[in-house]
Structure 1
Amino acid sequence: MSRKFIDGNVAMAEAAVAAGCRLFAGFPITPQSPMPEYLSDRLPQVGGSFIQAESEVVSANILLGASYGGLRCMTSTSGPGFSLMAEGISFIIGSEAPCVLIDVARPGPGMGGIGGCSQDYLYAVKGLGAGGGRAFVISPSTIQEAVDVVYESFDLADQYRTPVVVLTDKLLAATTEAVELPPLRDLSTLPDKSSWLITKRDSMKFEDKRICQSMLLPVSAQEEFCIKLAEKYQQWEEKEVRWEEFLMEDAQVVLFAYGSVGRIVREAVRQLRAMGIPAGLFRPITLFPFPQKQIENLRYENLKKAVCVEMAIPGQMLEDVQRSVKGKIEVDFYGRGGGMLVTPQEVVQYVKEQWERGV
């Protein structure tokens, strides 16, 4: 492990290299451009390849080929570029090609701005291209957690043969702080993929062919594949759900937040506690699979108020939180949009006013 003082973009890029990523395909777009810039120099140092793609559309399809060729591969982008990747991501899901995609979200809709935001939640969690496919989606709240998440994402991608989306924003990517970086992974220890790589066919005979495809015939085969994906998602819900609870043991006010906002709300909880308001934080770390059961099983007999805090208007994770509480408590919403940052002080003020009014 080495300790460095670096920004989130560079930290995530270095974590990917350490995890064994040896191909990056991407296209510049603020606020993630420092990531490909760094990797264009770093990857050749470890025998990897950096590809400046013509567009984000091409980036996604390069990952498909690289993955089926046996490489650990990654792209990074922001909201507008992420949306352009939809067709390729759907093909990646349908072909079960492991890879990692980092989305450094920016405000929207459309081109939006370049501020911090949480406005890609619905797209990342529920809208990745045609056919209803899902990716494993995980959202860190600090740069250290982002390093750890990116490093592990390549293992998750290989284990489940899935794209893993690391959902971040400008606030995390542009922040600079001290982090512990993992050592370079020994590539000889990576999982064996010879059973499905197109480069590992037994012979050149037609019957030994291996095809990277997402359309299966007859129709019954396509249905069987959809069932296979559903079973995979069920596995995630049973084995891979991650979340954090902060000061929830005696909380009477629960604040739900994810990603960078989770870090902000953690400070708000501390300030509320100092005022005598028993607040706590529930932070989903995996957004798909979502910690639905964990939210459902909170101590609702103790809770008097619930608030979902996001840097998005209208709320996006709000829908999943409301679904998860199953009507046991009303979930209020506090959000900022368009790149305006949520601050601990305004969250404290909102909760304090509601608490004093007994709402």
Structure 2
Amino acid sequence: MSKVLMKGNEAIGAAAIKAGCKYFFGYPITPQNELPEYMSRELPKVDGVFLQAESEIAAINMVYGAAGAGARVMTSSSSPGIALKQEGISYTAGAELPCVIVNIVRGGPGLGGIQPAQSDYYQATRGGGNGDYRHIVYAPASIQEAVDLVMEAFDVADYYRNPVIVLGDGMIGQMMEPVEFKEPVKRELPPKDWATVGTKGERKPNVINSLYIDPKALEDHVIKLEQKYAKMKENEVRYEEYNLEDAEVVIVAYGTTSRIAKNAIAKCTEEGIKVGLIRPITLWPFPDAAFDKITDKTKAILTVEMSTGQMIDDVKIAINGRKPVYFYGRTGGMVPTPNAILEEIKKIVGGDK
């Protein structure tokens, strides 16, 4: 299969349609605008529906409705737009509705700026909605990986009856790379016999709801959800390990920052410093097991992010005090450089920190 050069946002839209997405509800915000624009043009060609809602809040509730009817549905936005969707995301998780939510992250807080950032890590992995709920969070590092993960995300959402978030920094949405639309590995999915598709007089009506007046009934529901999240932790953790065996320092980075980190590692190699990388692909569930592969040769961990340091908490939990953890980051739309990361590593191995 030949590759095609595409902008990230458009490639994500194409991947969603190939995965069987038939409905998209959203509202424009930079830097993800090309995605809904693409869907508005291409979905009608496959008998799908694109609708620009009057707000992000309306869009996520339309997603709730389409998902409740058993449709494959997606929404996308950027940082403050996702913040507005958080109540609806909590509702979809509580009602066990599968959907895919794409966040092309921009700088914040507030309206912030339109440049790339990774400062929605807390929002994605901890959730801004209410209650005990979780969702898988994918963090692609390339346009090809974004395509692959979006296609997989629809099956994963259907398999667990749960929203899935694809978290891409602004560069993932805006840069162009050659991509190939491969057939994803298909899962054996359960039937959507819970969907509100009409009874045809053959059964009792299905009810889609996240409201439980009886506290014991709600506790039972939340425990059931927690058991589902435990299965996600067991089966859905994804990560990349790179040059860990002899590493003096191990960088932890995700998304396009991990690609910058690999360039920094090449510079370290030229200077005789052995550096490895752990790249979480799922930010939740976080790949704790990857840190068990760090050897006694490693002196320290360096977390690198386009934020003021949000993933560092999960890194510290995963390493559990076995190694010191340092942080280097840029924020507000500023991007770390390989040379800056190199200098941080030199300080660590030189004992200056």
What is the TM-score normalised by the length of structure 2? Answer: 0.96
SS in 1 for 2:201: coil
What corresponds to 1:272 in structure 2?
268
Q: Measure how far apart 1:216 and its partner are.
A: 2.1
Instruction: List gaps (5 residues or longer) in structure 1.
Output: none
Deviates more, 1:56-65 or 1:1-10: 1-10
| Contact kept in structure 2, 1:300 and 1:328, CA below 8 Å | no
Say whether the 8 Å CA contact 1:272–1:278 is kept in structure 2: yes
Q: Is the 8 A contact 1:318 1:333 kept in 2?
A: yes
Q: Which residue of 1 aligns with 2:69?
A: 69
Q: Distance in 2 between matches of 1:160 and 1:129?
A: 19
How far does residue 29 in structure 1 lie from its aligned partner after superposition?
A: 0.0
Kept in 1, the 8 Å contact 2:250–2:277? The answer is yes
Q: Does 1:195 align with 2:193?
A: yes
Please tell me whether the aligned partners of residues 17 and 43 of structure 1 are also in contact (alpha carbons under 8 angstroms). yes
1:191, distance to aligned residue in structure 2 (A)? 4.0
Count the aligned residue pairs.
353
* 2: CA distance, partners of 1:194 / 1:287: 28
Query: Secondary structure at 1:108's aligned position in 2?
Result: coil
1:318 aligned residue (306, 312, 315) = 312
Which of the residues 191, 198, 209 maps onto 2:205?
A: 209
* Residue in structure 1 matched with residue 340 of structure 2 by the alignment: 346
- Given that residues 159 and 190 in structure 2 are in contact (C-alpha distance below 8 angstroms), is that contact kept between their aligned partners in structure 1? no
Task: Please give the per-residue CA displacement for 1:311-342, whole angstroms capped at 9, x wherever unaligned.
Answer: 001x0001110111111111000000110011
TM-superposed CA distance for 1:298, in Å, is 2.7
Deviates more, 1:136-145 or 1:344-353: 344-353
Paired residues of 1:106 and 1:169 also in contact (CA < 8 A): yes
| Secondary structure of the structure 2 residue equivalent to 1:5 | strand
Q: Which amino acid aligns with 1:167?
A: L
Q: Tell whether the 8 Å contact from 1:57 to 1:88 is kept in structure 2 after alignment.
A: yes
- Specify the alignment match of 1:158 in structure 2: 158
- Letter of the structure 1 residue corresponding to residue 333 of structure 2: G
What's 2:218 paired with? 222
1:251 alignment partner, one of 247, 250, 254: 247
1:301: how far off?
A: 1.3
- Cα distance, 1:292 vs. partner? 1.5
Bigger Cα displacement from structure 2, 347-356 vs 53-62: 347-356
8 A contact 2:103–2:166 mirrored in 1: yes
Q: In percent, how many aligned pairs have the same letter?
A: 42
After the TM superposition, which residues 48-127 of structure 1 pair with which residues of structure 2 at under 5 Å, given as runs? 48-127=48-127
The alignment partner of 2:180 has SS state of: strand
Match 2:293 to one of 295, 298, 302: 298
Alpha-carbon distance change, 322 to 202 in structure 1, aligned in 2, over 3 angstroms? same
1:232 is matched with: 228
Work out the CA distance in 2 between the residues paired with 1:194 and 1:349: 53
Q: TM-score, normalised by structure 1?
A: 0.94
**Closer, same or farther: CA 202–228 of 1 in aligned 2, 3 Å:** farther
Unaligned runs of 5+ in 2: none
Structure 2 counterpart of 1:312, which letter? S
Q: 2-side partners of 1:2 and 1:156: how far apart?
A: 26
Distance 2:183 2:69 in 1: 25
State the Cα RMSD in Å.
1.8
